[in-house]
Homo-oligomer: A and B are copies of this chain.
Amino acid sequence: MLKRYIPLLEWRKTYHRSTFNSDLLAALIVTIMLIPQSLAYAMLAGLPPEIGLYASILPLIAYSLFGTSSTLSVGPVAVVSLMTAAAIATLELGSMEQKIAAAIALAFISGVLLLAMGFFKLGMLANFLSHSVISGFISAAGLIIAASQVPHLLGLNSGGHNLLQIGDSLYRQIQHIHYPTLALAIFTLVLLIWVRHSLVSLLLNIGIKATLAANLAKTGPIFAIISTIVITWWFSLDVIGVKVVGNIPQGLPTLALPTFNSDLWQSLFSAALLISIIGFIESVSVAQTLAAKRRERIDPNQELIGLGAANIGSAISGGLPVTGGFSRSVVNFDAGAKSPAAGAYAALGIALSCVLLTPLIYFLPRATLAATIIIAVLSLIDIKALYRTWQYSRADFAAMSVTILATLLDSIELGIMLGVSLSIALFLYRTSKPHSALVGLLAGSEHFRNIDRHDVLTSSTMLTLRVDESLYFANARYLEDRVYDLVAQHPQIKHFVLMCPAINDIDASALESLESINSRLTDSGVLFHLSEVKGPVMDKLKTSHFSTQLSGEVFLSQYDAWQALSGAPIK
């Protein structure tokens, strides 16, 4: 029982010195990457930088106990931080203390929801979001995040949670651009882009191994941070108005349960649910991609528990909502992490930083963090996906564009809600006409084929309609219409057979439709028969009155029906 929920008890048995060494190396590289990300994503969420560090200690340890991925790197990530910022903004809180309390509450509720979904195996809730909606949402979120950081690059106050608000806020302040900040920002951007695009080949040229070179290149942000800290300190740029991170508390976070506030929790509930689901989907898809490369398996429902524990861990140590991050996890994987323990070691790295490095961050310019965020989120924006989806499916394209537009122009919640509603509506619409065909007998065989595409025998007194999909409320009425039309077009028929070899389920609405078909056909003097009904479907039908009301018979095979009902077949 305990092993079922704590994978650690399983994998520790095979934990050896070599695994430990691999994990430790990976943890070191991840720590270097995680420090700037933690600071930046806390700022993106509208919170003090140390909150990001706090969210990168206990959550990693909690995930390493309960998670199933050996390489997932949990912590603050861009999209979830944006969602956190938006959720806190709707509360219109005055003080930073209140905002921190709201972020902690958000992490806590989100953690509880994830745990509950895990215990009740509700990982399938994520299935409601089609890939098009998620992909559109992530692109739109990436754009909003990038846009929201532009004011920081210009030394302005950022504001707004959709493109319109951000644009409006920028427009009002545009004459106050702080050029020293802008210069520093441009320096950082150029540095980051150079690291990303040219450092790898440089490192390869000086003889460093390809994997190590790629991973070193991904630690670029730490160099940007170190160099801009030095520049700012050296030239006292903070004195001339370059905004810096400033004093942040030195030492480890204090542990405390979040204080319960029913109004606050209620107003955060739907945002927490959305954060949980989006965070879960992001995290699981990263974890699955990496696990597949080693033919390992992750368990999505146990992942819910792992992420739930991580968020509760974040909440009780004063952090914001967390989930598995893509870039960090890939680095963790490439650097050779062999078990969830690597995450716990990275947590120790961040804890050490909290104790030792926080004074050094005083001169870190906010513009540097903004530039780091912008470069990081550009990879989220996938314009080509729009084109690909347009080519493949107009319905998915519609869902994707609606999600993107509503997210960009209104809010994350509206974007996802409209996208989900539209994709479900379009799916129901597509399935509202079940594939079906009138069939006849292939002469000299016992096979029945579509009369429009094959030269088959038909009967003057019976019609057979083969339905190729399960029957449910969205397509039941169409079936009714189809049957009534067919019977009205063939006034001479006495028997109507519904051939059901591909029907896996009949819901109560479809049952009602079958009952209507039965009684209306009976009223017009036609007997209604079924053939080739699957076993489980027949068992279910037997629990209803339909099987006793049926005016005709249930034939095991369509050929039996044909022999009993067709009379003199016509060619």
Contact = CB atoms under 8 A, between A and B. Distances in A.
Nearest to A420: B473
Contact of A477 (B127, B470, B540, B545): B127
A430 interface: yes
Nearest to A526: B295
Contact of A544 (B388, B428, B513): B388
A296 interface: yes
A351 to B, nearest CB: 34
A274 interface: no
B127 A473 contact: yes
Interface in A232-257: none
B478 A508 contact: no
A427 interface: yes
Interface in A476-535: 476-478, 480-481, 484-485, 487-488, 491, 502, 504-505, 507-509, 511-513, 516, 520-521, 523-524
A129 B507 CA distance: 13
B543 A396 contact: no
Given A391-B544, A543-B392, A473 B130 contact: yes
A423 interface: yes
B508 A389 contact: yes
Interface string A451-491: 00000000000000000111011111110110011011001
Contact of A300 (B395, B397, B481, B524): B481
Interface in A363-405: 388-389, 391-393, 395-397
A429 interface: yes
B396 A292 contact: no
Contacts of A520: 288-289, 292-293
Interface in A417-450: 423-425, 427-432, 435
Contact of A131 (B424, B476, B505): B476
Nearest to A502: B502
Contacts of A424: 424, 428
A427 B124 contact: no
Nearest to A488: B297
A389 B511 CA distance: 10
A294 interface: yes
A462 B328 CA distance: 35
A128 to B, nearest CB: 6
A391 B540 CA distance: 9
Interface string A113-147: 00000000000101111111001000000000000
Interface string A263-301: 000000000000000000000000011011111110010
Contact of A508 (B396, B469, B523): B396
Contact of A507 (B130, B291, B468, B474): B130
Oligomer: number of copies: 2
A427 B292 contact: no
A508 B132 contact: yes
A509 B132 contact: yes
A567 to B, nearest CB: 20
Contact of A127 (B128, B300, B432): B432
Contact of A505 (B126, B430, B473): B430
Contact of A124 (B293, B391, B429, B502): B429
A117 B169 CA distance: 42
A520 B127 CA distance: 20
Nearest to A513: B131
Contacts of A295: 487-488, 491, 524
Contacts of A469: 469-470, 504
A205 to B, nearest CB: 28
Contact of A428 (B127, B135, B487, B504): B127
Contacts of A392: 508, 511, 540, 543-544
A523 B292 contact: yes
B292 A508 contact: no
A282 to B, nearest CB: 13
Nearest to A475: B127
Interface string A75-119: 000000000000000000000000000000000000000000000
A80 B270 CA distance: 33
A344 B130 CA distance: 50
A543 B391 CA distance: 7
A294 B484 CA distance: 11
28 contacts: A127-B428, A130-B472, A130-B507, A131-B512, A288-B520, A289-B520, A292-B524, A294-B524, A295-B491, A297-B485, A300-B481, A388-B545, A389-B508, A392-B511, A392-B540, A392-B543, A392-B544, A393-B507, A393-B511, A395-B507, A396-B509, A423-B473, A424-B424, A430-B505, A435-B504, A468-B502, A468-B504, A502-B502
The 5 closest A-B pairs by CB, nearest first: A292-B520, A130-B473, A396-B508, A131-B509, A295-B524
